[in-house]
Amino acid sequence: MKPSSNDLRPKDSLTLYLRGLKLPAFVSHHEEVATMAEKNGWTFGQYLHHLCELEHGERRDRKVERLERQSGLPREKTMGTLDLNRFPAAVRRQVPALCEGGFASRAENVLVFGLPGRGKTHLCCAVAFELIRRGLAVLFIATYQLVQRLLIAKRELRLEKELKALDRYDVVILDDIGYVQQERGEMEVLFTFLAERYERRSVMITSNLVFSQWDKIFKDPMTTAAAIDRLVHHSIIIELSNKSIREEEAQKRNGSKPALEEAPAK
């Protein structure tokens, strides 16, 4: 028979109560904090306040860890590994505001354009890690993977359920939207996803195709125009015109001369 709290010593009874209230930091630290409080002459209010700070901090840390696990973000693409000096000055000025997450609270989109190797994905991921530290839920996914996920859901007659599952993310990062150039069905589910989030949730999109080339993605001119209209209506547009980061890093490793710069996308 499980003993009641009345059968336990006060210290054991307190631990039991704290576990029942789901206060793990209180359970772990209340004795050492009590010793600290006694040594420093704290009031009971100060003692309780310190325990609450510990509990709040540990809960915040656990939430951040959970959000990072669920995000699918590449662990190495953080702000700490991002060399902002490679980007144009206008982009560097935008980054702090993006990290604050105001665009997500306003359901705005962030559209990042640039040729391959310019750091589009790294920039979005670095911002996303900062958003997670502010308690926002983020999903990073290659656009083709999202499209396949939605197509499967549509075939299994659970597309609405899948869209609701994606809706729990404050921000969805669609990486490399320019590589989705397939069947009409793929275009339709992608458009449905974007339309569902319009003015409700944010997307961050990386693309090596400028808007005039998006008919390669959505095929139909009307659908292309409608998709662009929804994305641009509330958006922050970032253009990375810097040199290829991957090419520069390869040159440093190999000691080779720079190759000819790629022609800009029309």
Q: What is the pLDDT of residues 61-107, one digit of tens each?
A: 899 999 999 999 999 999 999 999 999 999 999 999 999 999 999 99
The whole-chain average pLDDT of the chain stands at: 88
Q: Residue type for 112, please? A: V
The structural domains of the chain, with segments of one domain joined by +, span: 5-69, 72-254
Question: What letter represents residue 207's amino acid?
Answer: S
Q: How many whole angstroms separate alpha carbon 31 and alpha carbon 39? A: 12
Of residues 201 and 256, more confidently modeled: 201
Statement: residue 259 has pLDDT above 80: no
Beta carbons of 192 and 98 less than 8 angstroms apart: no
> Are the C-beta atoms of residues 86 and 252 closer than 8 Å to each other?
no
**Exposure letters 233-257 (e unless 16+ CB within 10 A, then b):** eebbebebebebbebeeeeeeeeee
For strands 109-113 and 202-207, give the pairing.
Answer: parallel
Q: What is the homologous superfamily of the domain 72-254 according to CATH?
A: P-loop containing nucleotide triphosphate hydrolases (3.40.50.300)
Give bridge partners of residue 171 from the DSSP assignment. Answer: 138, 202
For 83-93, the pLDDT digits (tens) are 999 999 999 99
Residues 195-213, mean pLDDT to the nearest whole number = 95
Q: What is the number of alpha carbons within 13 Å of residue 53 lying toward its C-beta?
A: 7
- pTM higher than 0.85: no
Sign of the C-alpha dihedral computed for residues 87, 90, 92 and 95 taken in this order? negative
Predicted pLDDT of residue 14: 72
For residue 238, the cross-strand partners are 112
Euclidean distance between CA atoms 255 and 248, whole angstroms:
10
